[in-house]
């Protein structure tokens, strides 16, 4: 007798149209099932000199990263933004070049346009339509927020300003709201403030709450209404992972720890899992990739290795299944 429900690997049996529809929307190719096949991508950094290499992983598996291609120019500490199909690397190493890739393929990046300010050490966030890049060093602290339309190549435009001038901050998001956490200010030092913007609008950021401590250069990840700020620097390197609910103005709380204390790692995520890739040790660079299950608090687990140990990566990497996508 045939199955009385749809079986994706077996076409036999009898079922209703509603059952066929339920099966279809659960398939990994459908945006309502965003985790299966989701890639995490990071590019540039120092190894130990500035680099153009782009690596990628399948976030819901484990294993070592694979070479994706190269950026158009070498550089360190760029913010990123991504939709389901396209990833954008923001300005880096005090130039204003933005690159883009098609996430589902491999190959070298191409020119997207220019940021409004040439800087490094800023961070990015995005939903399906728009990417926003905030902060950086130019060679002084900046509070500028730029935005782009991810599907359309071209130069960035002014969005507004952060609550203060800062760099080495981390970008996080849900579908409508963007958060910029932590960072560094000269002469104030490390910051614990979290800024919030509404991605679809323009205007200045406002205060959202605080990280568990003042820190900078952590890897950031965004899941299903849960944002993580992992590692970084608090007088010394830290393993600490903070968790933030982007829906409610509130402070971060403790989530767990990375496997290795480091800063300048790149974070990527699906709705269910976050990964922290590479980063700077004391001394030297790291090739470690950790993963974290978003659903419950706890420590990270080893995922695999980058193609080469690299520090000074962007604090948020590229993903086609992060919490800002529908």
pLDDT digits (tens, 9 = 90+) for 154-182: 999 999 999 999 999 999 999 999 999 99
pLDDT digits (tens, 9 = 90+) for 253-293: 999 999 999 999 999 999 999 999 999 998 899 999 999 99
Three-state DSSP at 207 gives strand
The more confidently predicted of residues 241 and 1 is 241
How confident is the model at residue 25, as a pLDDT?
37
- pLDDT grade for 19, boundaries at 50, 70 and 90: very low
- H/E element, 269: strand 266-269
pLDDT digits (tens, 9 = 90+) for 210-221: 999 999 999 999
Domains and CATH numbers, the chain: 34-319 (2.120.10.80)
How confident is the model at residue 62, as a pLDDT?
97
Enumerate residues 6+ apart whose C-beta is below 8 A from 19.
5, 6
SS3 content of the chain, % helix, strand, coil (to 5): 5, 45, 50
Hunting for tokens 């694979």 — which residue is that? 66
Percent pLDDT > 90 in the chain is 79
> Token pair of 75, please?
């550089």
* pLDDT value at 192 more than 80: yes
- pLDDT grade for 101, boundaries at 50, 70 and 90: very high
Q: In whole angstroms, how far apart are CA 193 and each of 155, 156, 205, 214, 249?
A: 29, 25, 12, 8, 12
Of 324, 71, 313, the closest CA to residue 168 belongs to 313
Of 3, 28, 25, the closest CA to residue 14 belongs to 3
How confident is the model at residue 74, as a pLDDT?
86
């Amino acid at each position: 007798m045939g199955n009385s429900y749809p079986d994706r690997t077996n076409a036999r049996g009898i079922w209703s149209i509603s059952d066929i529809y339920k099966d279809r929307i659960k398939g990994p190719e459908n945006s309502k099932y965003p985790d299966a096949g989701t890639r995490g991508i990071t590019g540039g950094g120092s190894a130990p000199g500035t680099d153009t290499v782009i690596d990628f992983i399948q976030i819901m598996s484990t294993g070592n990263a694979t070479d994706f291609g190269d950026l158009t120019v070498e550089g360190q500490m760029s913010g990123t933004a991504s939709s389901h199909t396209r990833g954008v690397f923001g300005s880096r190493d005090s130039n204003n070049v933005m690159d883009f890739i098609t996430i589902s393929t491999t190959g070298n990046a191409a020119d997207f346009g220019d940021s409004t300010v040439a800087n490094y050490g800023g961070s990015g966030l995005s939903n399906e339509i728009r990417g926003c890049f905030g902060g950086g060093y130019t060679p002084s602290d900046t509070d500028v927020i730029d935005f782009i339309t991810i599907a359309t190549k071209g130069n960035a435009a002014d969005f507004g300003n952060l609550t203060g001038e800062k760099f080495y901050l981390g970008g996080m998001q849900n579908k409508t709201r963007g958060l910029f956490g932590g960072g560094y200010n000269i002469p104030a030092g490390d910051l614990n403030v979290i800024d919030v913007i509404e991605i679809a609008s323009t205007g200045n950021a406002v205060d959202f709450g605080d990280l568990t401590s003042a820190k900078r250069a952590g890897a950031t990840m965004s899941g299903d209404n849960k944002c993580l700020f992992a590692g970084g620097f608090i007088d010394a390197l830290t393993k600490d992972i903070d968790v933030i609910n982007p829906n409610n103005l509130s402070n971060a709380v403790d989530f767990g720890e990375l496997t290795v204390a480091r800063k300048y790692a790149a974070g990527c995520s699906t709705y269910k899992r976050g990964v922290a890739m590479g980063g700077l040790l004391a001394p030297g660079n790291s090739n470690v990739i950790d993963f974290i299950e978003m659903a419950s608090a706890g420590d990270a687990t080893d995922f695999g290795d980058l193609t080469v140990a690299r520090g000074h990566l962007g604090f948020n990497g590229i993903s086609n299944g992060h919490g800002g996508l529908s």
